[in-house]
Amino acid sequence: MKLSLEKRELEINEEDYQFLERISGSDFVRFIGGDQVSYWRWRNLVRLAEKVRQICAKKHLNPKQVAPKFLLNFFEGASNEDDENLQELWAKILAGEMEHPKSFSLRTLDTLKNMSTDEALLFQELSQYFLFGNNLWFIFNDDVLLNKYDINYPKLMKLEDTGLIGLQPFLSINIDLRAHEANRLIADNRSLVIFSKNNGDDNYKINFHIYALTESGKELLQVVEKNPDSRFIEDCTLRLNSMFEGVTFSLHEIVMINENEIKYKKDGLVPKPKERHNNKSS
């Protein structure tokens, strides 16, 4: 079928048009603004519809209507985006909202609407270093680790400007460990976990500085292709061992994880610094 827009015609197949109508719950031309919408914006939405349909097919997800307020804000931002990388994020957000309503806020849509391609690619690049602990997604605020992985302050400031991360200098994670207590501390993308164990007879306080993702940053992290760098979390484990003498930090491979339980391999992947030194000298 063809749509006439501002004296131009746009090819759109029936499947894509019906998909857009189904999620908007209306005559889509009237919903989005009819002839006042430019050919360019329509073309962007058609490309987006194809991407979302492919995601739905891959996940065996039936398209369904989303909240009108969300949809209006979504179309306003997505129809003005023709960059391939950013369109992928828009498509994943819509598919995610259909699958799990209220997963994405209007603030996150506004954040994505104002992101440049370079900012999106930078977020993708740094996503491999984001860790999860104490109900926060964060990156270590530690010069040794940041310098080693070329995570410089200008990069972090760029993400702060986009509203994805906060750079409060004194934000920290604080954990109290009872005597001889072991505790799950930090996990990456569901594959590795750091455990801490108090080796002494007294309570011990763990405190280290972080840069935490904002709510929009956490929501966008859901749709970014995350490929955690295992070397980074290994170095985080070693760094923590060097910072807290009374606690042993060990890194383990996760076997199974859900909301209530985590199973992991008992053998640690990273020895303590002293053990690593002894292995080299033997």
Q: Are 103 and 193 in a shared domain?
A: no
Q: Are 262 and 149 in a shared domain?
A: yes
Q: Domain for residue 122, yes or no? A: no
Domain count, the chain: 2
Q: Are 103 and 142 in a shared domain?
A: no
Model pTM greater than 0.85?
A: no
Q: Are 181 and 106 in a shared domain?
A: no
Strand (E) positions, the chain?
2-5, 8-11, 131-133, 136-140, 172-177, 182-187, 192-198, 204-212, 247-257, 262-264
Which of 79, 98, 114 is the endpoint of a domain? 114
Q: Are 43 and 158 in a shared domain?
A: no
Q: Are 187 and 249 in a shared domain?
A: yes
Domain that holds residue 110: 2-114
Strand (E) positions, 28-135?
131-133
Contact 38, 86 (CB under 8 A): no
Q: Are 276 and 144 in a shared domain?
A: yes
Q: What is the CA radius of gyration of the chain?
A: 23
Q: Domain for residue 247, yes or no? A: yes
Query: What helix, strand, coil percent values describe the chain, rounded to 5?
Result: 50, 20, 30
Residue 65 is predicted with a pLDDT of: 86
Q: Domain for residue 120, yes or no? A: no
User: pLDDT averaged over consecutive 10-residue blocks of the chain (282 residues)?
Assistant: 53 76 66 58 89 92 89 92 94 94 95 95 94 90 95 96 93 90 78 87 91 96 85 92 90 81 80 45 35
Q: Are 68 and 203 in a shared domain?
A: no
